[in-house]
Amino acid sequence: MAGFFGLFDYTKEGPGVYPDEPPKGPFALFFSILGRKFWKIVTINLMYILFSLPAFLVAFFGASFVVQAFFPALTPELLAEMFEKSGLPLQEGISFIDFANVQILQLYILVAMLLVGLHLLIVGPVHAGIVYILRNYSREEHAFVWMDFKEHARKNLRQSLIASGISLLFTVLFVINYAFYNTNLVLGSDILRVILQTIIVILFLLWCMIQIYLYPMMVTFDLKLKPLLRNCLLFSILRLPLNLLILLVSFIVLFLVPGVLLFLGYGISVLAAFLWYLFFAIGFNVFMTTFFAYRAIDKHMLSRLRAAESLNEEDAEETEEAQAEDADEDEEESEKPEEEDDKGLVRSPSGAR
């Protein structure tokens, strides 16, 4: 049996890459790999959700605090009043307050999925194992989904747990600080409050960008956490426009699309949102972030390592050639006295004197 979505199929490698195929641009290559590996990414999405259930539960309970921090005035009563004034048609037997409660619950789900999808609240080893597989896909190399996942989740166990713990801590601090400055009682000046909140949001976005590069770099290099974070910070700043675009697409995939489906309230749309999360959203988002992060890592770090290794190989070859030439010269010099002693002698056919 080939296994569920190829999950336990250790022999099938899937479609390969033709060696004579002309190089593609980054976006064309991204969608090409996505098409070839679509069902593998579906499998990875299911694995991610299954093994990250603790993170999803924590994110769901924490989502209420995030929503209250950013929208402290949001209550079911206020939301019901807004829906009623807008003339929103409801199904028979459903009150506006019931509808508002459902919408707030759905908002908590959306925020929880966003927290996990942006790598802010994750199970570190699970994320590291998944990123390793998707990193291989990004450079068009084969990966055994289950075996490679287990191996690299264990290999990066300690470092990924520390990194995910730091990410959780920083996220909590950002939310607390934003909520602190979101009340008029703390600061007398609205302008100062807006400035401080803007700084917090900018730092939060920068932290989200750091998460894009952290795990692809972790599974590629044997570096300690401090230099990893420093390199990720540099990539976050140097590739700012692309990083902002990636975050925007992540927001659309993880929040906006399922949010619209849930808000419609139809049974088919709610089912579509559920299937969107279950089979696609997380896997696609992690693949997207890993793909573009790895391209930057390959261009600015791996290419330099390859160039240095190539230079070292050339130097080694030149050294070997020089040593061989010196050895030949020494051998010739050592033979000269023997030739001088043999002058005037006739060797026998056997070579003896």
Report if residue 17 sits inside a domain.
Answer: no
350 has a pLDDT exceeding 80: no
In order of 43, 96, 100, the CA distances from 103 in angstroms are 30, 10, 5
H helix or E strand, kind and range, residue 333: helix 303-341
Report if residue 296 sits inside a domain.
Answer: yes
Report if residue 177 sits inside a domain.
Answer: yes
Report if residue 327 sits inside a domain.
Answer: no
Give the amino acid at 16: G
What is the pLDDT, as a whole number, of residue 352?
41
Report if residue 340 sits inside a domain.
Answer: no
> What contacts 36, CB < 8 A, 6 or more positions away?
14, 15
Highest mean predicted confidence (pLDDT) among 5-9, 33-37, 93-97: 33-37
**Domain count of the chain?**
1
Report if residue 4 sits inside a domain.
Answer: no
In order of 106, 212, 285, 295, the CA distances from 300 in angstroms are 41, 16, 23, 9
In order of 50, 89, 102, 124, 348, the CA distances from 94 in angstroms are 34, 10, 11, 42, 119
32 has a pLDDT exceeding 60: yes
Please give the average per-residue pLDDT across 23-49, as a whole number.
93
Residue 352 CA, chain-centre distance (Å), reads: 76
Report if residue 247 sits inside a domain.
Answer: yes
What is the pLDDT, as a whole number, of residue 319?
64
> What contacts 247, CB < 8 A, 6 or more positions away?
118, 205, 208, 209
**Two tokens at 225?**
């956490």
Q: What is the pTM of this model?
A: 0.81
321 has a pLDDT exceeding 80: no
36 has a pLDDT exceeding 80: yes
**Contact status, residue 83 vs residue 99, Cβ threshold 8 Å:** yes
> What contacts 182, CB < 8 A, 6 or more positions away?
69, 70, 72, 193, 197
51 has a pLDDT exceeding 80: yes
What is the pLDDT, as a whole number, of residue 25?
85
What is the pLDDT, as a whole number, of residue 10?
41
- Give the whole-angstrom CA distance, residue 48 versus residue 212: 17
**pLDDT-derived band of residue 184, with 50, 70 and 90 as boundaries?**
low
What is the pLDDT, as a whole number, of residue 343?
46
In order of 121, 156, 253, 320, the CA distances from 288 in angstroms are 18, 21, 11, 45
Please give the average per-residue pLDDT across 240-253, as a whole number.
98
> What contacts 128, CB < 8 A, 6 or more positions away?
152, 153, 155, 156, 159, 160, 215, 218, 219
Express each pLDDT in 283-311 by its tens digit: 999 999 999 999 999 999 998 888 877 77
Other residues' Cβ atoms within 10 Å of the Cβ of residue 153:
21
* Pick from 170-184, 223-237, 243-257: least confident: 170-184
Percent of all residues in the chain with a pLDDT value above 70, rounded to a whole number: 80
- Give the whole-angstrom CA distance, residue 274 versus residue 17: 34
Report if residue 338 sits inside a domain.
Answer: no
- Give the whole-angstrom CA distance, residue 132 versus residue 128: 6
Provide the domain limits for residue 53: 25-320
Average pLDDT over all residues of the chain: 85
